[in-house]
Amino acid sequence: MNAHQDNTPLYRRFAELLHRTMGLDAASLGHSAIERAVDQRAAAWYAEGHAQDSLADYWDATQRSPAMVQALIETVVVPETWFYRDADAFKALARLAHERLDERGAGLPLRILSLPCSTGEEPYTIAMTLLDAGIDATRFRIDAMDISERSLALAQRAVYGRNSFRGNAFAFRDAHFTRTEDGWRLAPRIVETVRFSRANLMQLDATSLGIYDFVFCRNVLIYFDREAQQTALHALNSVLADTGTMFVGPAETGLLVRHGMQSAKIPLAFAFQRAAPADPLSNGWPMAAPLAAAAALVMSPSPVSALAPAQAFSAEPFAWPDPVARAAFDGVTQIAPFDGAMQSILRNTLAPHPRMPSAHGPQPPQIDAPVSAARDTLQAAHALADAGRLMEAAAAINAYLEQHAPHADAFYLLGVLADANGETNLARSQYRKALYLDPQHAEALAHLAMLLELEGDRDAARRLIQRASRAQGAARD
């Protein structure tokens, strides 16, 4: 047995320590990543005058030193976030904020919580969104919290490099940033609207925080185990106003439904509210039926995967590849069609497919069949789903499949639609068909993982999450 194997029980202790401290489920990441983080911190400790000590000595020292625990947390937390990520959430925020202020009149300002806030891109995006929507800075307060002291320091510095600006819509950067030698500096008028502080979602003192109109907690819950999810959701629920709105990541919609929240019915915003008082689901966070309009929430005009990377209190930890970078749709896979496609209907309605440009922007040039046929039909299905016409969206896809060779994206969308209607077995089947055609289809992997997670098959869900992560890494290379 080598030295590394001898230390396996110690690595397990460190994983348990991180779980207790920050809720991290090591299995969702892979124990090797935890081991690398431990080895890195141990090596730094050895270099500080402990060269003759062992990993067991480092463990003992860590038990006596909160600062060493924090240093280990800082090692596993690697920020990976950007401005206006999942932009539809911020569009929804602007509209809801105006509605809430109109109801409130000249009363108290809005309170918004961003947790985890990472290096500040999310709370600063909230501030820019509200100011650009014509809401004066005196009418809102933003609290931004994170477990990582390093991330908070970078957020308060408010200077950002190119990685914080994704896509090609940078009007906000021209309006609110100044170019410097080392990046772009955010205007003080934006920085001053956000109050940063250190907080741990697993140990949140909800009674000291008060009540928030809007809570952003995105892309972290999926990497907790059930117990940690319950702890986090109870904490967030306790600070959310009765009529408040919680924004989560695409992969987390099922978790909120399962805990009794209901969709705000804003396509692509991943926004949730408490169930109505008369609704029996509003009492005690019970298990809930699948969300009726989930397709409109899950599908997005940008290629957003259900497997949004984990935040682990500082956006995506461990520098996982980002699922929004999946390759664009590139035509029809030529494999013999599956049997049993539904009757052809709904041919020529054009609207954005999840991997196509938005209908609000320039439309792509016309391309001859078979590529244009698939593109148009999948665009049509997405538009119908956004309009709440889920059955028609499914029929549009099946209409295509009757006449053309199957495509992974078509079966993926059918799976999302079945998911939305609560047809779990059908959804699982459609996701598997998508993966048969494209084993690296990250969105199908992520959605299937979510189904298995909610059904209690955590081991299979973890394997699919790891496959999706590897698929995204390959897509980026």
- Given a cut of 70, whether residue 319 has pLDDT beyond it is no
Least confident of 39-53, 194-208, 233-247, 406-420: 406-420
Residue 299 has pLDDT above 50, yes or no: no
Residue 368 has pLDDT above 60, yes or no: no
- For residue 259, what is the domain's CATH number? 3.40.50.150
pLDDT digits (tens, 9 = 90+) for 214-243: 999 998 887 788 888 889 999 999 999 999
* Domain membership flag for residue 123: yes
pLDDT digit string (tens) for 326-352? 233 222 222 222 223 222 222 222 223
Residue 414 pLDDT level (bands cut at 50, 70, 90): confident
Instruction: Kindly state the percentage of the chain with pLDDT values over 70.
Output: 73
Q: Write down the pTM of the prediction.
A: 0.63
In this structure, the answer to whether residues 448 and 354 fall within a common structural domain is: yes
Same domain membership, residue 40 and residue 116: no
For residue 454, pLDDT beyond 50: yes
User: 59 and 13 in one domain?
Assistant: yes
Q: Both 99 and 19 in a single domain?
A: no
First to last CA, the chain: 36
Q: Which domain, by its residues, includes 267?
A: 87-298
User: 3-state class of 179 per DSSP?
Assistant: strand
The pLDDT tens digits for 7-27 are: 889 999 999 999 999 888 887
- Domain final residue pick, 43, 76, 109: 76
pLDDT, average across residues 44-70: 94
CA distance 97 to 90: 10
Q: What is the pLDDT of residue 305?
A: 32
Q: Do 151 and 291 belong together in one domain?
A: yes
Same domain, 350 and 451: yes
DSSP labels, 310-343: P-TTSSSGGGPPPGGGPPPP------PPPS-PPP
DSSP 360-414: TSPPPPP--TTHHHHHHHHHHHHHHHHTT-HHHHHHHHHHHHHHS---HHHHHHH
Specify whether 131 is located in the same domain as 277.
yes
Position with higher pLDDT, 259 vs 298 = 259
Higher pLDDT, 222 or 104: 104
Tell whether the model's pLDDT for residue 295 goes beyond 50. no
**Together in a domain, 212 and 169:** yes
Domain count for the chain: 3
Whether residue 380 sits in one domain with residue 429:
yes
**Quick check: 182 and 159 in contact, CB under 8 A?**
yes
Together in a domain, 40 and 161: no
- The pLDDT of residue 475 is 53
| 3-class SS string, 193-231 | CEEEEECCHHHCCHHHHCCEEEEECCCCHHHECHHHHHH
The mean predicted confidence, pLDDT, of the chain is 76
Instruction: Report the distance separating Cα 310 and Cα 174, nearest Å.
Output: 29
Cβ-contact 412, 401 below 8 angstroms? no
Q: At what angle do helices 371-386 and 390-403 cross, to 10 degrees?
A: 170
pLDDT of residue 192 exceeding 80? yes
pLDDT at 1 over 70: no
